A = this chain, B = another copy of it.
Amino acid sequence: MEINGVQIDDTYAEAFPTWIARVIITAVTEEWAYRSAVEATGFATSAIGCPCEAGIEGFLSGDETPDGRPGVAVLFCTGKKKLKEQVVERLAECVLTAPTTAVFDGLPDAPEKIQVKLHFFGDGYEYQKEVGGRKCWVIPVMEGEYIGEEEFGIVKGVAGGNFFVMGENQMATLIGAQAAVDAISAVCGVITSFPGGIVAAGSKVKSNKYKFMPASTNEKYCPTLREKVPDSKVPAGIFAVYEIVIDGLDEDCVKEAMAEGIRAASLVPGVKFITAGNFGGTLGPYKFELHKIL
């Protein structure tokens, strides 16, 4: 199968379940909501070494937020127990502390909830108030008052949706990956948690040589090792590979993100081949077949 002259491998991306909270951060301007969201979702690329995976899902206008102010929707993804702990710490340290921010539950219809009790920070001076139909706590702080919901819906979503962009040299492939991330940023319900949305150094589980390593370089996808490892998966003429990893609220939005991202990458000159990563079904229950989703 080819799209815009780029060959699409006949394979599938394998993904696995994750618990997700969706937090809406609002502020006096979009810029302040964004700054807080960037801090709150940092150090959150991969569950391998970060305490969670997190990222910005999208921007919201005042019409779409409970308090009528501009906002940013962020997703936090990890195991159920760790999710609560991470949302508490990240909201407490990176949003409550940020200028003019408020937080609201972005999944009010989810049946499962986590409690994020920041109001104890108020040391008894806090009080309750309804904002846009949401039960909030108001905490007196140095800038004035912080406002936030404390119950957040969580859903079982999808982690590890992915595809690999391969190209004739590094720079062309990088811009191909960037175009993919641009396109995915317009899709609702998903994040790409790596820096700039792109993985430059994909990993395999464990290491062949160093037994203490939980993960190591995916040598079969390393262009410089093409002639040195058996069964290299780097096609002839490919000199760089970038992976796009997608976490999303459900299978449909991950599918849409993969399709939009692949189409966008295929339009960048120098991109030659697109495939996806799987572990033969041993990793997780979700399969996204490239030829079907496109």
Contact = CB atoms under 8 A, between A and B. Distances in A.
One complex includes copies of this chain to the number of: 4
Interface in A204-260: 207-210, 212-213, 215-219, 221-225, 228-229, 239-243, 260
Contacts of A90: 43
Contacts of A223: 142, 144
Interface in A5-28: 28
B263 A195 contact: no
A155 B202 CA distance: 33
B43 A97 contact: no
Contacts of A191: none
A248 to B, nearest CB: 17
Given A120-B216, A121-B213, A125-B225, A143 B168 contact: no
Nearest to A45: B93
A188 B10 CA distance: 40
A contact residues, range: 35 or more
Interface string A39-82: 11111111011110000000001110001111000000000000
A38 B120 CA distance: 30
Given A141-B201, A175-B174, A50 B196 contact: no
Nearest to A70: B182
A268 B174 CA distance: 12
B45 A121 contact: no
A51 B5 CA distance: 42
Contacts of A68: 263-264, 267
Nearest to A229: B125
A268 B40 CA distance: 24
A13 B267 CA distance: 35
Given A42-B42, A196-B35, A123 B213 contact: yes
A51 to B, nearest CB: 8
Contacts of A114: none
A262 B260 CA distance: 36
Interface in A91-141: 92-101, 120-125, 139-141
A273 interface: no
Contact of A46 (B44, B93, B125, B202): B93
23 contacts: A32-B196, A36-B196, A41-B43, A43-B51, A45-B97, A48-B93, A50-B89, A50-B94, A61-B260, A62-B267, A63-B260, A70-B264, A98-B198, A100-B170, A100-B200, A121-B216, A123-B207, A123-B209, A123-B216, A125-B225, A141-B200, A142-B164, A142-B241
